[in-house]
């Protein structure tokens, strides 16, 4: 199927999804849309995603509590404006699928603590954690050689395990650097793990609804959560590769691992 369009050096006008869309040459999607229209087959879904940011986001929010109107993101009718919504709209401007970021925002707004949500915004301003298709984010964790946590030595962190802790028992005060909770952290700590034969580094998945605190120290890189899932183990030889690579899920990402062993990782 081919879609009607007109093209000039200044703009592309296309009729798709029952609407006329105009994309100016200064738009980051201009060349992407131009290349798509050169093909023998056109996708209405692709064209709308590239040409109409808000319509694409609305499609991504089907069944969720988020909507976009006139360039503003709303959650359950209330305007939301923060680093995450700016990132969401910015990714759409670059032609990326906003679905994972929309789901991430929906999960985040399910977090019952206002302070916890604000803490995660601080984290997002410093790091770009890779986002999964279902709106969770990737982190790293250090454990012992037997996969047990480094503090209590009771939690089994084998691949596939879901580690949980009663949220009420996790310290939500960001002024406390090392305190009760399950800990994950940013990639700067990975460098110290590469040659440590007595520990293992794991990739974990965290739902933003389960974030409890991001302490102010350590450049907002620490995080206490009440639940995470262990996805896989990273071999020591792979750590430098992970530090060098671009973990690109909707945006250039950064990497995570665990905190120092002085924290309470029950």
CA-based nearest residue to 89, from 101, 77, 78: 101
Task: Tell me whether residue 243 is in a domain.
Answer: yes
**Domain that residue 97 falls in:** 64-110
Tens of pLDDT, residue by residue over 58-100, are 666 666 677 777 777 888 888 887 777 777 777 766 666 777 8
* Domain match, 243 and 199 both: yes
> How large a percentage of the chain has pLDDT more than 90?
21
Task: Tell me whether residue 100 is in a domain.
Answer: yes
Q: Provide the mean pLDDT of the chain.
A: 78
pTM for this model (two decimals): 0.71
* Domain match, 36 and 19 both: yes
* Domain match, 178 and 243 both: yes
* Domain match, 172 and 225 both: yes
Q: ∠ CA(54), CA(120), CA(137), 5° rounding?
A: 70
Is the pLDDT reported for residue 20 higher than 80? yes
| pLDDT given at position 91 | 72
Task: Tell me whether residue 265 is in a domain.
Answer: no
* Domain match, 7 and 39 both: yes
Residue 125's H or E segment, with its range, is: helix 114-126
* Domain match, 157 and 241 both: yes
* Domain match, 142 and 241 both: yes
| pLDDT given at position 264 | 44
Given CA atoms 166, 172, 176, 177 in this order, what sign does their dihedral have? positive
* Domain match, 249 and 142 both: yes
What are the backbone dihedrals phi and psi of residue 261, each rounded to the nearest 5 degrees, phi first? -85, 5
pLDDT, greater one: 242 or 230: 230
Task: Tell me whether residue 175 is in a domain.
Answer: yes
CA-based nearest residue to 149, from 69, 263, 16: 263
* Domain match, 7 and 96 both: no
Is the pLDDT reported for residue 249 higher than 50? no
| pLDDT given at position 191 | 60
pLDDT average, residue stretch 11-26? 84
pLDDT average, residue stretch 37-60? 77
* Domain match, 39 and 135 both: no
Residue that is written with structure tokens 């006329």 in the block? 20
- Highest mean pLDDT of the ranges 21-30, 123-132, 170-179: 170-179
* Domain match, 72 and 145 both: no
Tens of pLDDT, residue by residue over 87-140, are 777 776 666 677 788 888 889 999 999 989 888 877 766 666 788 989 998 888
Q: What total of structural domains would you count in the chain?
A: 3
Q: By the 8 A CB rule, do 140 and 257 touch?
A: yes
Task: Tell me whether residue 203 is in a domain.
Answer: yes
* Domain match, 218 and 252 both: yes
Task: Tell me whether residue 225 is in a domain.
Answer: yes
Task: Tell me whether residue 238 is in a domain.
Answer: yes
User: What are the tokens at 172?
Assistant: 């939500």
Task: Tell me whether residue 105 is in a domain.
Answer: yes
């Amino acid at each position: 199927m081919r879609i009607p369009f007109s093209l000039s050096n200044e703009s592309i006008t296309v009729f798709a999804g029952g609407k006329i869309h105009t994309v100016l040459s200064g738009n980051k999607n201009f060349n992407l849309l131009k290349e798509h229209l050169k093909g023998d087959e056109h996708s209405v879904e692709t064209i709308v995603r590239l040409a109409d940011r808000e319509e694409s986001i609305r499609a991504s929010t089907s069944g969720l509590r988020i909507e976009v109107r006139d360039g503003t993101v709303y959650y359950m009718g209330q305007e939301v404006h923060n680093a995450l919504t700016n990132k969401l709209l910015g990714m759409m401007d670059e032609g990326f699928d906003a679905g994972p970021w929309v789901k991430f925002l929906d999960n985040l707004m399910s977090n019952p603590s206002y302070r916890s949500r604000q803490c995660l915004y601080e984290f997002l301003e410093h790091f770009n954690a890779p986002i999964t298709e279902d709106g969770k984010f990737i982190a790293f964790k250090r454990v012992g050689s037997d996969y047990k946590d480094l503090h209590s030595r009771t939690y089994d962190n084998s691949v596939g395990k879901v580690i949980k802790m009663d949220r009420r028992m996790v310290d939500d005060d960001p002024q406390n650097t090392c305190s009760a909770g399950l800990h994950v952290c940013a990639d700067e700590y990975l460098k110290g793990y590469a040659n440590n034969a007595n520990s293992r580094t794991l990739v974990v998945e965290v739902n933003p609804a389960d974030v409890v605190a991001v302490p102010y120290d350590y450049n907002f890189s620490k995080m206490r959560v009440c639940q995470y899932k262990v996805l896989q183990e990273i071999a020591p030889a792979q750590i430098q590769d992970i530090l060098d690579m671009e973990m690109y899920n909707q945006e250039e990402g950064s990497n995570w691992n665990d905190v120092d062993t002085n924290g309470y990782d029950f």
